[in-house]
Amino acid sequence: MTAAQRPLAAVPRGLRWLPALALALQVAWQLGRPAPLARAEDLPAPPPQPLLAVAALGDPVALARGLMLWLQAFDNQPGISIPFRELDYARVIAWLDRILVLDPLTQYPLLAAARLYAEVPDPPRQRLMLAFVQEKFLEDPDRRWPWLAHAVLVAQHRLKDPELALKFARRLADNGSEDRVPAWARQMHIFVLEDMGELEAARIVIGGLLDSGRITDPHEFRFLKDQLDRLQEQRVAPGPAVPDELAQRRQLTE
């Protein structure tokens, strides 16, 4: 290749130094510019689903993955870090929803909703995200139950809202199929009731489960039977009074 080139002397004298000069000028230009300033950008509203379908160029799963990584990193824009609680959660939910439509089999958006966005110390935002998890769980309970199970825990221990936790736990119990959703998840409402001090209600639920014949696994049956016995013992030696125990019992037996 070198032999095919003409000697350096063939280049006009003025032109020989021009590239180096231009390069120095470019570097000087960049050095003279003010340092880039980080500026927080608001999360934009997601485009309509049909537009996203076109933008996917026939590969919606790949677009879903790309969007998920982009959304997940939105709190960390170049040179700036935005706390999750400053994000517009309605928009975050809209994006997560779009991503789930693009790839209904992925668990990623629900994991992000339950374990990232629902962990912010901001109850209204947490409630929004948990409601989204519950809504999406109902669309595909057998696949998405882990996130509603996590939502039960967040509602119970972070939000300190046992009613909400019980609502989620009952959704799990009512919608999860036995072969896909493990027993401990379907029985979470029992433990929530116990935590609420609703011992009688928990006892009725366990008794109902045992009588229903739905529990076929002998280990699970024994575990629940032990639980029931323990609750029976507590009933004999009752703890502090529970104000809405009767209402709870009525609701459960209806």
Q: Are 102 and 57 in contact (CB under 8 A)?
A: no
CB of 112 to other proteins, least distance (A): 8
Strands (E), the chain: 76-77, 80-81
Is 196 a binding residue for other proteins by CB under 8 A? The answer is: no
Q: Are 68 and 108 in contact (CB under 8 A)?
A: yes
Of 94, 111, 153, 185, the one binding other proteins (CB under 8 A) is 111
220: left (phi over 0), alpha (psi -120 to 50) or beta: alpha
Q: Are 235 and 245 in contact (CB under 8 A)?
A: no
Of 106, 127, 182, 245, the one binding other proteins (CB under 8 A) is 106
Is 103 a binding residue for other proteins by CB under 8 A? The answer is: yes
Is 92 a binding residue for other proteins by CB under 8 A? The answer is: no
Q: How far is CA 232 from the centre of its chain?
A: 38
**# chain residues binding other proteins, by CB under 8 A:** 26
Task: Pick the piece of the chain touching other proteins (CB under 8 A) from 24-32, 103-111, 179-187, 203-211.
Answer: 103-111
Of 82, 94, 108, 122, the one binding other proteins (CB under 8 A) is 108
Nearest CA to 151 among 111, 196, 183? 111
Contacts of 218 (CB under 8 A, 6+ apart): none
- Can you read off the two tokens belonging to residue 97? 């929803």
Residues between 49 and 78 that touch other proteins (CB under 8 A): 50, 53-63, 65-66, 68-69, 72-73
Task: Pick the piece of the chain touching other proteins (CB under 8 A) from 106-114, 125-133, 189-197, 244-252.
Answer: 106-114
Task: Pick the piece of the chain touching other proteins (CB under 8 A) from 108-116, 135-143, 163-171, 173-181.
Answer: 108-116
- Can you read off the two tokens belonging to residue 88? 């517009």
CB of 15 to other proteins, least distance (A): 28
Alpha helices in 33-122 (DSSP H): 49-55, 60-72, 89-102, 108-111
Task: Pick the piece of the chain touching other proteins (CB under 8 A) from 8-16, 81-89, 99-107, 150-158.
Answer: 99-107
Q: Where do contacts with other proteins occur on this chain (CB under 8 A)?
A: 50, 53-63, 65-66, 68-69, 72-73, 103, 105-108, 111-112, 116
